[in-house]
Amino acid sequence: MIQAVLISALVCLAAASPAAPAYKMGFQEKIVGGQEAEPHAYPWQISLQYHDFVIGQYYHTCGATIVDEYHIVCAAHCIDGRKADHFKVVAGAHNIGLFNGEDTQKIKVSEMWLHEDYNSNIIVNDVSVLRLAEPLVFNDNVKPIKMAELGSDPIGDTICINSGWGSTSHTSVPNMPNHLQYVELPIVDRATCQSDYDGINGVDDGMVCGGSQEGGISPCSGDSGGPYVCPDADGEWYLAGIVSWGMIPCGQPAYPGVFTNVAYYREWIDAHTAM
């Protein structure tokens, strides 16, 4: 019952409810404790935008990551219950504000797939793949990133990076930046993460955790679906996780951000990027 209440509270926040309890589980929509990124330092970053017919324009709803010229990978909860033709991606952006003057690539989504076993009640199998209507043109500002190898698992305390345009607020009242933010989040080993969330929600092998036991750094609202990248043995970045869920307000001690484990879902992702 506690889990159901906490998750329901999260959905209210995602819909911009003005009132929210101090402690609840929710989809991660903001970066807390980070800083503005160097422009185009993360060329695999996507702003996934949704067309709101009530207000008549697109708005940033989630992050996502470039896999190849036609596909991006995201969280299932970002597209659940929505239509593919209402989405577009913005690639190569740093400032997603209006009239920013940036040379970005804006492409509609033609098809999308969320994991067939996605469960929004306990937030498991939170992964999706979207196919673009036209190919991305790769350049210095728009590039794919390699994905974690099947069966691999990042080592605890590895310093990884989450980037996104999510809220920078430490409270339940969002503060949404136009400029891309990033934060360094050390890997939290799964056993510790499971202990941290005991009685709140399960943490399984399909999840990777990142943050600080002291708190103060975290992804949160608006960052959902975005990249969590780690260095390999050669120092090259790879996609280890997809921003999924955590506690709100974000950045609380002993509640690290929880990411979908890309290595665990590598076969599923490969199968759908081949479509």
Cα 110 from Cα 88, distance rounded (Å): 9
Catalytic, out of 196, 224, 244, 272: 224
Residue listed under structure tokens 């590039």: 143
Do 201 and 123 meet the contact criterion of CB atoms below 8 Å apart?
yes
The b/e string for 141-172 (b: 16+ C-beta within 10 A; e otherwise) is: bbbbbebbeeebbbeeeeebbbbbbbbbbbeb
Query: Is 77 in the active site?
Result: yes
Residue listed under structure tokens 């076969």: 267
Query: Is 126 in the active site?
Result: yes
Which helix or strand (DSSP H or E) is residue 269 part of?
A: helix 266-273
Which helix or strand (DSSP H or E) is residue 2 part of?
A: helix 2-14
Catalytic, out of 71, 126, 218, 221: 126
Q: CA neighbours within 13 Å on the CB side: how many for 189?
A: 5
Q: CA neighbours within 13 Å on the CB side: how many for 118?
A: 21
Do 72 and 132 meet the contact criterion of CB atoms below 8 Å apart?
yes
Rg (CA), the chain: 17
Q: CA neighbours within 13 Å on the CB side: how many for 240?
A: 27
Catalytic, out of 47, 60, 71, 77: 77
Cα 247 from Cα 24, distance rounded (Å): 5
Query: Is 85 in the active site?
Result: no
Cα 255 from Cα 194, distance rounded (Å): 10
Q: Which residues are catalytic?
A: 77, 126, 224
